[in-house]
Amino acid sequence: MKIGLIGLPLTGKTTLFNLLTKSKAAMGSFSAGTGANIGTAQVPDKRIDFLSEMYNPKKTTYAQIEFVDIAGFLAGGEGHKSGAGKFLNDVRGCDALVHVLRAFENDDVVHVTADLNPAKDLDAVDMELLFADLELIEKRIERIKAGKKITKENAAEMNLLEKCYGVLENGSSMLEADLTEEERFSLKNFAFLTEKPRLAAVNMDEQQFREKSYPYKEKLTALCREKNIALLELCAQMELEISELDDEDRMAFMEDLGLVETGIELLARNVYAHLGLLSFFTVGEDEVKAWTIAKGLNAKEAAGKIHSDIERGFIRAEVVKYQDIAELGSMAKVKEKGLFRLEGKEYTVQDGDIVHFRFNV
């Protein structure tokens, strides 16, 4: 899972990236046109903490999310063309996007648009993604039309592309387009930018965070609802500063600010909830490990995420619910109560399942 941090210049993307991935990428200067920073964040999970304590394994592995800190992009600004290509390419490589919006007041940091309006900024970058998709469709249609002969397949593709064009022209995203599963699959190679699931994160200063208020909050909230994207509120710089303190001081500061979870906890929770992901676990003396998969995968498909051999030679899955083991305290007690289940390949894996795959190759 590769998540891109996108937004206008100087909205706090690199600050957030450093917070999430514990990196030390340079902040505070225009990065437009430069390469992206890439880093991984461990997804905190109390269930893994618990299981690790219980099994005392040689290795404990949390789920990971890869974050790509993409250079800020100024629509229609100077160097638009050259900047746009790099920006759009970096965006295209991501599975999902977090749009970082500036609400914070900071006289030392240039504000790139006329006024501080995160709702307007959200629309501005969205437009850019939308135009990129429109251009992609136009080019493909042109190429088909320029061909010697328009085959039946070409005609069908063109039909579908024209339908998508209409959707985008109306300001909707490819994600919202009413397409069948087959149609979507046939368009996969286009890697449309507006088809990427995304979240919005508004970056506030300390005062705004304490007051739970920032300019155009209502407008932004309504816009996100309309676009059907989750809106997270955070305070990247302050949290980055706090994260460098020792545990005791950090807890005290967090409490004082009313910060109930860390940036990565907030991001990860929302990424899993809104991008349709879940975690299952494998446990043993060697390793306790969290695996991230899409909701709806069956046991055999989930096995394939661990190793293709396990999928190929799948016999059955032995499944225990995390909740049961947490409540009863041991695998032996879970078995005693008959809460240990044998599942076939069609079983849909659930969040919090502890799974042991039986296979034969």
Q: In angstroms, rounded to a whole number, what is the distance separating the alpha carbons of residues 297 and 282?
A: 16
331 binds, among ligand GTP, Mg ion, none (CB under 5 to 8 A by kind): none
20-39 residues in contact with ligand GTP (CB under 6 A) are: 27-28, 30-31
CB 24 within 8 A of CB 17: no
45 binds, among Mg ion, ligand GTP, none (CB under 5 to 8 A by kind): none
Q: In angstroms, rounded to a whole number, what is the distance separating the alpha carbons of residues 329 and 35?
A: 49
83-112 residues in contact with ligand GTP (CB under 6 A) are: 104, 106, 109
Q: In angstroms, rounded to a whole number, what is the distance separating the alpha carbons of residues 345 and 298?
A: 6
14 scored as a contact of ligand GTP (CB under 6 A):
yes
Instruction: Calculate the alpha carbon distances from 154 to 6, 78, 160, 178, 249 in Å.
Output: 34, 38, 10, 21, 63
Q: Which of 11, 18, 21, 31 binds Mg ion (CB under 5 A)?
A: 31
CB of 13 to Mg ion, least distance (A): 5
Query: Residue 56's beta-bridge partner residues?
Result: none
Element (H, E) at 219: helix 217-227
CB 242 within 8 A of CB 254: yes
15 scored as a contact of Mg ion (CB under 5 A):
no
Q: φ and ψ at 180, to 5 degrees?
A: -80, 165
205 scored as a contact of ligand GTP (CB under 6 A):
yes
CB of 256 to ligand GTP, least distance (A): 17
160 scored as a contact of ligand GTP (CB under 6 A):
no
203 scored as a contact of Mg ion (CB under 5 A):
no
CB of 210 to ligand GTP, least distance (A): 13
Select 193 or 234, whichever has its Cβ closest to ligand GTP.
234
Q: In angstroms, rounded to a whole number, what is the distance separating the alpha carbons of residues 62 and 48?
A: 7
Q: Token pair of 150, please?
A: 């328009």
Interface positions with Mg ion (CB under 5 A): 13-14, 31
The binding site for ligand GTP (CB under 6 A) comprises: 9-15, 27-28, 30-31, 71-72, 104, 106, 109, 203, 205, 235-237
